[in-house]
Structure 1
């Protein structure tokens, strides 16, 4: 019976082989320094400890998208969806029925990128 258990393949997604963080280094910072680290980490969408670990091990942190950039990408994606729908209308009904929608969407795109 035990041999069957050993030979049987496991189902499902394989387990991640990631080393657990088991050792720590205590770091003392002033309130101002901690606030700076926390702000920089927040801008990158990270926790302060993750940010400090990356800076310690790599000397730099990979630049991720800021919350503002993520918001703009989300809005732009929605506008791309609207543009696709307008293209379908143009193909189905003709150009003149969709012109007003095209100009409205162009105005929104310009406002999104010139607003920052």
Structure 2
């Protein structure tokens, strides 16, 4: 048993009709060939939370740089950018 909205039911019914199939047969065939993408793992979700926090920190440092001048914050910005690059490298190499 599967629940569908009226719109989904109509869409599947129309596609089944166009294919010359009953809706149940169309749905079974579609389910067999469907490509499902998994959600993020807990580890990946943690990486994205870390990246979001780093982006927030970078935004705050950028604001301070405008107020106090960039030279005073250059080292902090460079260190944070390195951390972000390392995390992005880890995320992209895990995406295999």
Sort the TM-score into its range (normalised by shorter chain): 0.5 to 0.7
Report which of the two has the higher share of helix: 2
The aligned counterpart of 2:31 is 58
For 1:97, which of 53, 57, 72 is the aligned residue? 72
Which gives a bigger RCO, structure 1 or 2 (Cα 8 Å, sep 6+)?
Answer: 2
TM-score by length of 1: 0.45
Q: Please give the root-mean-square deviation of Cα atoms over the aligned residues, in Å.
A: 2.5
Aligned length: 63
Larger Cα-atom Rg: 1
Shift >6 Å, 4+ stretches: none
The aligned counterpart of 2:45 is 70
- Aligned-pair distance for 1:96? 0.6
What is the rounded CA distance, in whole Å, between the counterparts of 1:112 and 1:106 in structure 2?
10
Gaps of 5+ in 1: 1-18, 20-56
